[in-house]
Structure 1
C-alpha cells in the first residue's frame, strides 16, 4: 500500500513538472521569427529620460529595431534601424524560465568574436503578454530614487 501511495505521489510531481516546462516551451516557440520592437514606454508614461538601455544604446536606437529569434538553439540577433545608431547585427543568446506564475525572458548580448559561455552578464525581463502577432516584455529599473517598469512592445514582421 505504501508503495502505491509513493508511486502515485511521484507521478503527480512528474506531471506537475512536465506541465510547467510546456508553458515555457510554448512561449519560446511563439517567439520564433522576426519581430520589430515597436515601442518602449514606462509605468511613468512615455519613456521618461532613460539615457541607455541594456548598457548599450539609447531608447531611440532600440525603438524600431529588428529582432530575430531562433527557438531551437536559443540564439538571435537585433539590428538598430535609426541612422544615428550602429547598424550592425548584434548577436544574442536567450531562453525563458518559469518562476511561479511568471515566465521570464533572459538574454545576453554576445559581442563579435566572443563565445556565449564567456559572457557572464545578461538581462531578465518578465513576459507580460504574448500572442501570434505581438508580445510585451517588462523590466523593473531604478530611476531617480524609485522603481519604474519599462515595457518593450514587439510586433511580428
Structure 2
C-alpha cells in the first residue's frame, strides 16, 4: 500500500514539474518546406465565415492588397521576401523568415531593415492547407464582431 501511494505521489510530482512547451512547435516539416521553395503569387484572398469585412493583413495593408503580391521562399535557410504591387494599393516589400512545423502551421516574421529574426519580437502563425507542387493556401483567423472568420490566401507557383 505504501509503495502504491509513493508511486502515485511521484507520478503527480513528475507531471507537475513537466517543462513548459512552446505555443508553436518548432519541429520542422521539411517536405512541406521543400514544396514551398520558389517564387509564388497570391492569386486570391477570400473570407470564410463572413461575407464582407475589411482586414488589415499582417498590420501592413488591406488583405485585398495582397492579391497579386509576389513571394519568394528559400527552404534551405528559411528566408525569403514578399512584395505588394497591386494597383491602388501602397507598394510594400519586406524580407521574411519562415518555417512550416509538424502541426501544419506556417510560422513567419517580417524583418525590419537591419534587424535579425531573433530581434523581431512578433510574428504570425497561419495554417497551411491544400498544398501541392503548384499551389497552397495559408489560412489566418480574424475576429469579426463576436465571431471569427478565416482569411484564405491562395498561392500559385510562378513558372520560371
Offset from partner CA, 1:31-65 (integer Å, 9 cap, x none): 0000001111111366x222411111112321110
Are 1:28 and 2:33 an aligned pair?
Answer: yes
Where does 1:100-139 land on structure 2 (aligned, <5 Å)?
103-139=104-140
Identify which range, 85-94 or 123-132, moves more after superposition: 85-94
**Equivalence for 2:10:** none
Mark the CA change 1:124 to 1:22 in structure 2 (over 3 Å): closer, same or farther.
closer
Bigger helix fraction: 1
Are 1:154 and 2:155 an aligned pair?
Answer: yes
TM normalised by structure 1 equals 0.78
CA distance, structure 2, for counterparts of residue 80 and residue 92 of structure 1: 13
Where does 1:1-157 land on structure 2 (aligned, <5 Å)?
24-44=29-49, 48-99=52-103, 103-157=104-158
Task: Show structure 1 runs of 5+ residues with no match.
Answer: 1-20
TM normalised by structure 2 equals 0.76
Give how far 1:88 is off: 4.5
CA distance, structure 2, for counterparts of residue 22 and residue 56 of structure 1: 28
Off by >4 Å, runs of 4+ in structure 1: none
Aligned length: 133
